[in-house]
Amino acid sequence: MLLISVMLGACAHSPIDEPSDPLEPVNRAFYSFNEQLDNFVARPAAKGYVAAVPEEVRNGVRNFFSNLSYPTVVVNSALQGKFKQSGLDLTRFVMNSTFGLCGFLDPATMVGLVRHDEDFGQTLGYWGVGPGWYLMLPFFGPSSNRDLTGRAIGITTDPLTYVGDSTINLAMTGASAIKTRADLLSADSVLEQQFDRYVFIRSAYLQRRQSLVYDGNPPRESYELDDEDDGDSAPAPAAKEDSSESKTSDTSPIPRFNIDIR
C-alpha cells in the first residue's frame, strides 16, 4: 500500500492551481462526516478546554506535544541533507526535554534555537515525489498520497508508538487532538465565511504543504500569453506576464489563504 501511495504521489501536477482530486465525491462525503464530528464533539471539547484551562497551562501543553513530536523533525532534517539544522534540532529536543521539564517549558527558543517543521511527507517532496491525489481522511482531515505515506512512515518516530499501555496512548492522543482543535478555534470565523468550505480547506492545505516542502520558497512557474503583435495600428496587446511570476500570485485562479491547518 505504501509503494502504491508513493507511485501515485509521483504524478506531478500544480497542486494549487490544478489540484488532483479524482476522489472529490468521496472526499466531500468524508468532509461532511468530519464536519459533523467537529460540530458535536471536537469543537465543544476545544471550547471547554480553553474556558477551563488557563492560558499559561495551555502554552505548556502545546510546548509538551511539540517537543514530543520533535524526534520526527530531527530525523527528517537529516534525511533532507540539512545536517547542521538536524544537529540544532537535536540540541533543541534535548534541552527542552531536560531543562524544559519534559518539554512543558521552552528554554531552547530563549537561547535562539528556533523550532522547525519537518516530516516524512516533506522529505518525500524534497526528493521529488509529487503530492499525488488530494485526500480527505475520516477523523484525520486533509492529506494527499504523499502525506498519507509520510504519516505511515512517521509512526516509527512517534514516541507514542512505543507506549505499551493503550490507555495512556489513547489519553495522550485525545489530549493532543483537543489541543490542536483549540489552536484552530480562531480560524472558525474565516471558515464560516467561505462559499465552499471544502475547496477553501483543500486550497489552504495544499498551499501550506507546498510551502513547507520548499521551506517557504516554492518553485516559480511561467504563465505565457498567446497574444501576438500583428503589426496593425490597433492598440498593442497586453504585455506578457513576467515568467518569474510566483505560483502564489494574485492572478492565480484560486485565491490564496494563509490559514495554518495542521
Mean pLDDT by 10 residues, the chain (262 residues): 45 57 96 97 97 96 96 98 97 97 96 96 96 95 97 95 89 95 94 93 94 88 44 44 41 44 43
Residue 171 to residues 71, 156, 166, 174, 252: CA-CA distances in angstroms?
20, 19, 8, 5, 43
Is residue 205 a contact partner of residue 142, using CB atoms and an 8 Å limit?
A: yes
Is residue 108 a contact partner of residue 70, using CB atoms and an 8 Å limit?
A: no
Residue 86 to residues 191, 223, 231, 241: CA-CA distances in angstroms?
35, 37, 58, 39
Q: Which of 8, 12, 7, 14 is nearest to 246 (CA)?
A: 14
Q: What is the pLDDT of residue 17?
A: 55
Strand, helix or coil at 77? Answer: helix
